[in-house]
Structure 1
Amino acid sequence: MRTRLAIKIHGFLERRFPERRVFLKSDTDTRFIRLRPETQLIAVAGTCVIVAWGIVATAIVLMDSIGSGNFREQAKRDQETYRERLNVLSQERDARAHEALAAQNRFNAALAQISVMQSEILASETHRHELETGIEVIQTTLRQTMQDRESARNQLTQLQQQETTGDSPQALASSAPAQMDFVAAALADTALERDQILADSQAALEARDELEKEIRLMDDRNDQIFRQLEEAMAISVEPLDKMFRSAGMPTDRILEQVRRGYSGQGGPLDPFSLSTRGEEPTADELRANLLLNQMDQLNLYRIAAQQAPFATPVNLGTVRQTSGYGYRRDPKTGGRRLHKGSDFAGRTGTDIFSTADGVVTQAGWQSGYGKLVTIQHAFGIETRYAHNSNIRVKVGQRVSRGDHISDMGNTGRSTGTHLHYEVRVNGKPVNPMIYIKAARNVF
């Protein structure tokens, strides 16, 4: 069966591809190459395969060229969209910066107004104390005048009684003219003294009414000053309290920690007291003490805000954020990994600033981070500034918010010049933008 099938196949190939001979002739000899039907079939099949491969490869190249052109157009459109988004974000950032500057100006104006109003309160309370002393003196004089008037009335009554008895001045006048003259002069002096006492009493009453009116006006003015101070305190404290709560920081615990640990400027103020006689404090004294407590709370908020990383590590007008906190595709390995901070790309040497007051705990090379600066802040917060080209601080150095601590670079595990900024609370990484966004409308 196999022989017959092979004969049939060979005969079919002989009809389609008859045997051919290629002669090769030289000067001395002539040779030929026999091309069997099977050889011709293999050659034709190979030629067809090569031609088909060329056609397919050409089609693939053309399709890839067309697709790459579409990808470039899409990339250009995405780039334009990204640029528009960056422009919008820049405008929004500038608006927030203007709002923060206006809020800071309002805050400074409120503090200046508070200082002026507090001085006015002290001056008004001193004046009030002087008025109270004057009223007491006038009342003492009035009581003495009333006593003198009663004494004059008693003397006049005695003289009238003498007139009804036999020892009247008229009876004694004939026997003692000199005594009569003395009694007449005494009566005249008593009448003049009585009239003077009545006039002094009336003047004292009018002065008392004027003083009471002035005290009422002073009370109204003090009440207005207190209301303005209370409103200024509410306007100043509320944004700071909202900022800390937006950042997830418990304000009660934060303020208590600052109150216990802060020993420099900005400690608690002494209670406001106007009386040294051991009396119960008045309503104005209670309001003044409440305002002083609120001022102390405002001062504690200010101190706490300096010690928490609410500022930005770079000038946002000179950089752009290239990566945020969270899981992302690793730029080196391509795998999915947690990015523990925020990346800001800029030029080499861009200034990097401390985002809060603290102490430098590391300033040198660390694997993966490159040249790294680590700062320990209050409340268990730590910030890291990685991939620097130059470090400007030393370990143990105390820095303040806004101090220039390093320059942007491309050291360590990095694909380009940028800052890797981390915030850690009690050793655990958190999103740095929580603090930056919380302070947008405050600073």
Structure 2
Amino acid sequence: MKEAGSTVFGRRREPHTVIIARGDDIRHFQVRPWIVALAGSAFAAIAIGYLLATSYLVLRDDLIDATTARQARMQQAYEDRISALRAQVDRITSRQMLDQQLMETRVGELIERQSQLSQRHGRLGPLLDRVEGASTTAAEPTPAVPGQPDLRASLSELGSHDVALAAATQASFSLWSTRTASMTGETPADRADRVFVAINRSLQAIEAEQVTRINALAEDAYETADAISNALDDAGLDIEDDPGKSAMGGPLVPIDTPALFDSKVKDLDEAIDLLDRIKSHARGLPIANPSPGHSISSSFGVRQDPLLGMPAMHSGMDFRAPTGSPARATAGGTVIKAGWNGGYGRMVEVQHANGFSTRYAHLSKILVKEGQAITAGDIVGKVGSSGRSTGPHLHYEVRRDGEALNPVRFIKAGKKVAQYL
């Protein structure tokens, strides 16, 4: 049986037939075009697969080598990057260690400077105590002298600089530590340098101010001692210590700040010593007014005797004062006489330092006893008119080694130096 063939352009075309005979058994197959195409495609695919497999087997080693080389390059790049990062970390760590060492060095320097300032405060403390002690020994507090600095206040201010400096330094460190993490554009070492430079400038300014103030205090102490000495010299009173500075000279040999501070403190200590001696000497002199607020009725020297009317020597001065008014000691000392003494009437005599003595006569009442120690301003008796007297008044004498001296000179000197004592 035959199948109808296909017609191409009007011609009939017979399909391909494959006949297989085996003995009496005969089989035949028709080969269709799509089967041929399919078989060809399969063959082509197998051929291409074979060629690809062969190419892969041939090129596999090259591909593996290329992949291995690429991985090796990538690993080397990673290792190089890791090495660079490690080196950078090492540099940062080294820089941080250097910064830390620098910080520790600078902190040590500041601690040493603060220790020096604390030692200075410790050295200024005794001077402040001495000034306070000197201010409390005066008989009566006196107001500040215009143009004269207050040594006590100045030394206190110098001492307060140390406390303020310690607080400022700690605050600077706190400020530096809080801003270190937030500040950019500079290294920690640069920030530390900037902070330490600022603190060092503050320290140097305070040290310079301390030296300047101490030098000024020493000069003021010498000037005060000079003023007291000159006032006493004008009154004819001897001063054993000469407060005037002797002539000086020599080449300039600069010294460092600690040595300069020690030198200035020593100079100030000597000035205060001298001032203390001058003040102590002045307080031992009978320079106060025995009857403040009362006028003088008769001065020292030759006068007409009020009872006989003839010239006579008046060995003291009289203060016109009502009966019962206080007669005050003009300096500290010891009572050597307290009782009736001829024409003096009731009299008190006080022995002072350096051979000086004072007498308070014509008293209505004596308030001290012989051997009693008194201080300046103590009331030794009450004004009266006992003895050779024409009316109530206070007769006051100043003697040195028994010789009568003019009390006016002492009282005038006392007015001049009272503001310093």
TM range (shorter): 0.5 to 0.7
Which residue among 213, 221, 234 is the counterpart of 1:225?
213
Quote how far apart the aligned CAs of 1:207 are.
5.1
Match of 2:389 in 1: 414
Aligned to 1:373, the other structure's residue is in SS state: strand
Please tell me whether residue 392 in structure 1 is matched to residue 367 in structure 2: yes
Aligned partners of 1:344 and 1:419 also within 8 Å: yes
Over 3 Å counting, the alpha-carbon distance change for 1:212 and 1:223 in structure 2 is same
Aligned to 2:354, the other structure's residue is in SS state: coil
Match of 1:327 in 2: 302
* C-alpha RMSD of matched pairs (Å): 3.3
Over 3 Å counting, the alpha-carbon distance change for 1:376 and 1:388 in structure 2 is same
Over 3 Å counting, the alpha-carbon distance change for 1:284 and 1:357 in structure 2 is same
Please tell me whether residue 243 in structure 1 is matched to residue 283 in structure 2: no
Match of 2:143 in 1: 104
Over 3 Å counting, the alpha-carbon distance change for 1:104 and 1:300 in structure 2 is farther
Over 3 Å counting, the alpha-carbon distance change for 1:300 and 1:253 in structure 2 is closer
Which residue among 197, 211, 222 is the counterpart of 1:209?
197
Match of 1:181 in 2: none
Distance 1:362 1:295 in 2: 36
Quote how far apart the aligned CAs of 1:116 are.
1.0
Over 3 Å counting, the alpha-carbon distance change for 1:120 and 1:289 in structure 2 is farther
Which residue among 372, 388, 412 is the counterpart of 1:437?
412
Aligned to 1:104, the other structure's residue is in SS state: coil
Aligned partners of 1:103 and 1:442 also within 8 Å: no
1:232-282 CA-to-partner distances (Å, cap 9, x unmatched) read 424533332222212222222599xxxxxxxxxxxxxxxxxxxxxxx9961
Quote how far apart the aligned CAs of 1:343 are.
0.9
1:313-357 CA-to-partner distances (Å, cap 9, x unmatched) read 1122xx321111111112222222211100112211111100000
1:81-126 CA-to-partner distances (Å, cap 9, x unmatched) read xxxxxxxxxxxxxxxxxxxx997323897133233134246658x9
Distance 1:280 1:323 in 2: 61
Distance 1:378 1:311 in 2: 15
Distance 1:122 1:248 in 2: 45
Which residue among 271, 284, 287 is the counterpart of 1:310?
287
Structure 2 residue identity aligned to 1:292 = D
TM-score norm. by structure 2 comes to 0.53
Please tell me whether residue 116 in structure 1 is matched to residue 93 in structure 2: no
Over 3 Å counting, the alpha-carbon distance change for 1:227 and 1:121 in structure 2 is farther
Quote how far apart the aligned CAs of 1:212 are.
3.6
Aligned partners of 1:354 and 1:404 also within 8 Å: yes
Aligned partners of 2:149 and 2:220 also within 8 Å: no
Match of 2:346 in 1: 371
Distance 1:350 1:233 in 2: 38
Which residue among 268, 274, 278 is the counterpart of 1:291?
268
Distance 1:311 1:399 in 2: 14
Aligned to 1:106, the other structure's residue is in SS state: coil
Within 5 Å, give how 1:106-255 maps onto structure 2.
106=145, 110-120=150-160, 202=190, 205-206=193-194, 208-234=196-222, 236-253=224-241
Distance 2:221 2:159 in 1: 16
The percentage of aligned residue pairs carrying the same residue is 29
Distance 1:206 1:122 in 2: 22
Q: Which runs of 5+ in 2 are unaligned?
A: 1-139, 174-185, 244-255
Over 3 Å counting, the alpha-carbon distance change for 1:254 and 1:405 in structure 2 is farther
Over 3 Å counting, the alpha-carbon distance change for 1:368 and 1:102 in structure 2 is closer
Aligned to 1:327, the other structure's residue is in SS state: strand
1:19-73 CA-to-partner distances (Å, cap 9, x unmatched) read xxxxxxxxxxxxxxxxxxxxxxxxxxxxxxxxxxxxxxxxxxxxxxxxxxxxxxx
Within 5 Å, give how 1:87-98 maps onto structure 2.
none
Distance 2:152 2:205 in 1: 25
Aligned partners of 2:319 and 2:393 also within 8 Å: yes
Distance 1:240 1:115 in 2: 22
Over 3 Å counting, the alpha-carbon distance change for 1:352 and 1:328 in structure 2 is same
Aligned partners of 2:218 and 2:267 also within 8 Å: no
Match of 2:94 in 1: none
Aligned partners of 1:104 and 1:442 also within 8 Å: no
Aligned to 1:385, the other structure's residue is in SS state: strand
Distance 1:387 1:402 in 2: 19
Aligned partners of 2:227 and 2:417 also within 8 Å: yes
Q: How many residues align?
A: 251
Match of 1:68 in 2: none
Quote how far apart the aligned CAs of 1:406 are.
0.4
Distance 2:155 2:196 in 1: 33
Structure 1 residue identity aligned to 2:153 = Q
Larger Rg: 2
Quote how far apart the aligned CAs of 1:423 are.
0.3
Aligned to 2:289, the other structure's residue is in SS state: coil
Aligned to 2:240, the other structure's residue is in SS state: helix
Distance 1:120 1:406 in 2: 47
Aligned partners of 1:308 and 1:377 also within 8 Å: yes
Please tell me whether residue 300 in structure 1 is matched to residue 277 in structure 2: yes
Quote how far apart the aligned CAs of 1:436 are.
0.4
* Deviant stretches of 4+, over 6 Å: none
Which residue among 331, 336, 339 is the counterpart of 2:314?
339
Quote how far apart the aligned CAs of 1:199 are.
5.2
Distance 1:243 1:103 in 2: 17
Aligned partners of 2:215 and 2:268 also within 8 Å: no
Structure 2 residue identity aligned to 1:252 = E
Aligned partners of 1:254 and 1:379 also within 8 Å: no
